[in-house]
Structure 1
Amino acid sequence: MSKLFQNYKRLDIEFVKAKGSYLIDSQGKKYLDFSSGIGVTNLGFHAEVKNALERQVGEIWHTPNLYQNSLQEEVADQLIGDYDYLAFFCNSGTEANEAAIKLARKATGKQEIIAFVNSFHGRTFGSMSATGQDKIKEGFGDLLPHFNYAIYNNFNSVKELVTQETAAVMLELVQGESGVLPAEPSFVRKLATYCRERGILLIVDEVQTGMGRTGQFYAFEHYGIVPDIVTLAKGLANGVPAGAMLGKSHLGIAFNYGSHGSTFGGNKLAMAAASVSIAIMKKNGFLDIVQKHSRILLEELKKALANKNSVVEIRGLGYMLGIETTGDLIKLVEKAREKGLIVLTAGMNVIRLLPPITLTKEEIQLAVSILKEIFD
């Protein structure tokens, strides 16, 4: 009998080895991983990340944030590039979103935050309060006040909620957990303009969409906007726990000495993994190949599943794809796993695909053939 809380529904499979895009279980069976550990190992199990961790653990693996940390400065510089941001490091997406909420409130002196129905921002009380899904909140009592929820891709629904006390609007550019629903470009651009004109901070949650997942380094680059605050995690350190919040430099005064912190945030091991992961993604031509191959995956899926009665729609952005189906979701996922393909679910009726962004054409063809088989 397990000594663990039963808050996870665990399958009777344990992965004990991994290489590239593949996982190997304790029985020696090999699987093509189209989940990336829920969007985490964006580069697959990459040798350069492994080597960076081994080098760092041979030197020093932790120092507190009472001292200088050149690795944090290095990763901050890589993340910021030509943008006018400052970075704060933490350990997860929910922590990054918590920091964003705190920064928005403290910087503006206002408390109201507009999020969206069916959004997901995390499971701490602040990030859970921003989440627009009741099932995430059930049983935990009163949440934080001053959060309201607009309708995704509906600009007027945002305007109707804005008051003099609105500090920020917080959104995902692809709602992942609720069904892989991309934001419409015209909606995003209109929202960004409106927020800028009204002095409302725009927070973009890139926990799942960032780090090359959509074919751009940040998903907001598809939309031609620059948010005031960006949150990152998942693929940031390619499987080592790491999160980050980027905020416009003029907001820096709000996070003054002692205002916020994280004991493990910016840990040496996490930063070593993050630095090499970002360097790989920013190599000349890397993201061009990601965009090209992700388009091939989408095209091949649409071709292979075009005549399947139970397939309603295939949608997404880059390597963040959803197959909406009227079929039995649990059975479909189980059949894929039996054939050696690991996939995820989203919402009530969507197979979610989050493969490594380093997929080869051969791996794409293998996954498509398995998905075609299970829908047959």
Structure 2
Amino acid sequence: MSGFVFSEKPIEIAAGDGVHLTDTNGTEYLDFGASYACTPVGHCHPEVVDAATSQLEELMYVQASYPHAARTALYERLAEVAPVDVDKVWLCNSGTEANEAALKFARHATGREKIVATTQGFHGRTMGTLATTWKDKYKEGFGPLAGGVEFVEYGDAEAMREAVDEDTAAVILEPLQGEGGINPVSTEYLQAVRVATATNGAAMILDEIQTGLGRTGSMWAADRHDVVPDVLTTAKGLGSGLPIGATLCRDWIAADAGDHGSTFSGGPVVSAAAGATLDVIEREGLPAHAEEVGDYLRGELRDRLGDDVRDVRGDGLMVGVEVRRGSNRLLRDLAIDHQILALPAGRTVLRLLPPLTVEREHADRVVDAIAEVIG
């Protein structure tokens, strides 16, 4: 009997290695979805496997009020790679939990209720994060949601300046929207958000759950825009597929964050895997590699597809191809006819989020396949 929440695809995955997945029939697929960016260093990277396995054999779990070497090391590593002064770390189990904590911390630290979010934004499916997620399709049947949320147009600096006031606890937004359609914004816009929040004593929360860990060409998209938020959230690829998230905060948020907890915060096994993942990302220079291959991929897509698509956009290896008809058929044809796995971002955007270890020859194969399928 299958589960009742997810609609299952007709491909049963049995194994993964690097940038490839293999199904139960032995068919190998080039993975250009990475399960929504969850495998930045590739599937089953030996260092990550060794770190998790070694920890598994010593201690599977102890709750976070007892210090443990793997968790302590991860705290330190995250503080090292985070934007300057965003060095207080809360560990959890997913991106939605990381964002939920960020909203709670901001409200408690400021003593305010109002949250400003953006159109087309996606921040999770718990009741709090769902309230800050834009599309109604995620919310239908789950109301009433947490109150005090105001939406403004993504990318409109003036609308943001008007919305953020002395009642605002936080602004939450993605520096490059993922689920909303791979929508980039300018550095000027993000810096305007930073000024508006700082001027009014509100927290700027950057949701880097999909953009972080090197995907856009730097460790964090914030780095590319010379913006330092008050809170930064990360998850997805942090544990190379094991469930972990993190909320990184400045001192003024952490000092008055309120009572918050999680049974499985920073378990030893996932902490070991996350530490190894960060080590591989840095040592192998994967952010710079993502920028190089991503620039190449987008350039080739634009050259080959031309007017057959509405747009090709993104940063690094977070790429969106906006097509002229529904994306579901394209995804199916890519998988069945070309053994390439990709993702949707709305009804008309093909989303490419491969492991950061892909090479130009993999990009060429994907461009050829997309051109053939669209043609």
Whether these two folds match at TM > 0.5 is yes
1:268 — aligned with what? Answer: 268
Work out whether residues 334 and 373 of structure 2, in 8 Å CA contact, stay in contact via their aligned partners in 1: yes
Q: List gaps (5 residues or longer) in structure 1.
A: none
Letter in 2 for 1:265: S
Q: Deviations over 1:141-164 (max 9, x none)?
A: 211110110100001212232332
Q: Deviations over 1:109-165 (max 9, x none)?
A: 001010011110000000001111111100112111101101000012122323321
Letter in 1 for 2:233: T
Q: Deviations over 1:226-271 (max 9, x none)?
A: 0000011001111000000000022222136xx1111111011111
Q: Distance in 2 between matches of 1:122 and 1:177?
A: 10
Q: Deviations over 1:27-71 (max 9, x none)?
A: 111100000011101111112111211111111111111201222
Q: Is the partner of 1:236 in helix, strand or coil? A: helix
- TM-score, length basis structure 1: 0.95
Q: Deviations over 1:276-295 (max 9, x none)?
A: 11011112644322221211
Supply the RMSD in Å over aligned alpha carbons. Answer: 1.3
Q: List gaps (5 residues or longer) in structure 2.
A: none
1:26 — aligned with what? Answer: 24
2:104 — aligned with what? Answer: 102
Work out whether residues 119 and 154 of structure 2, in 8 Å CA contact, stay in contact via their aligned partners in 1: yes
Per-residue deviation at 1:363?
1.3
60-69 vs 95-104, which deviates more? 60-69
1:83 — aligned with what? Answer: 84
1:330 — aligned with what? Answer: 328
Q: Distance in 2 between matches of 1:313 and 1:361?
A: 21
Q: Which contiguous aligned blocks of 4+ residues in structure 1 show a shift greater than 3 angstroms? A: none
Per-residue deviation at 1:3?
5.0
Work out whether residues 38 and 236 of structure 2, in 8 Å CA contact, stay in contact via their aligned partners in 1: yes
Q: Distance in 2 between matches of 1:87 and 1:93?
A: 14
Q: How many residues align?
A: 370
2:292 — aligned with what? Answer: 292
Q: Is the partner of 2:166 in helix, strand or coil? A: coil
Work out whether residues 292 and 316 of structure 2, in 8 Å CA contact, stay in contact via their aligned partners in 1: no
284-293 vs 235-244, which deviates more? 284-293
2:315 — aligned with what? Answer: 317
1:57 — aligned with what? Answer: 56
Q: Is the partner of 1:278 in helix, strand or coil? A: helix
Aligned pairs (5 A) from 1:1-376: 2-5=1-4, 7-45=5-43, 46-81=45-80, 83-84=84-85, 85-255=87-257, 259-283=259-283, 285-308=285-308, 311-338=309-336, 339-376=338-375
Q: Distance in 2 between matches of 1:202 and 1:307?
A: 38
Q: Is the partner of 2:107 in helix, strand or coil? A: helix
Q: Distance in 2 between matches of 1:110 and 1:134?
A: 25
Per-residue deviation at 1:337?
0.3
% identical aligned pairs = 35
Letter in 2 for 1:83: V
Q: Distance in 2 between matches of 1:62 and 1:83?
A: 31
Q: Distance in 2 between matches of 1:326 and 1:361?
A: 26
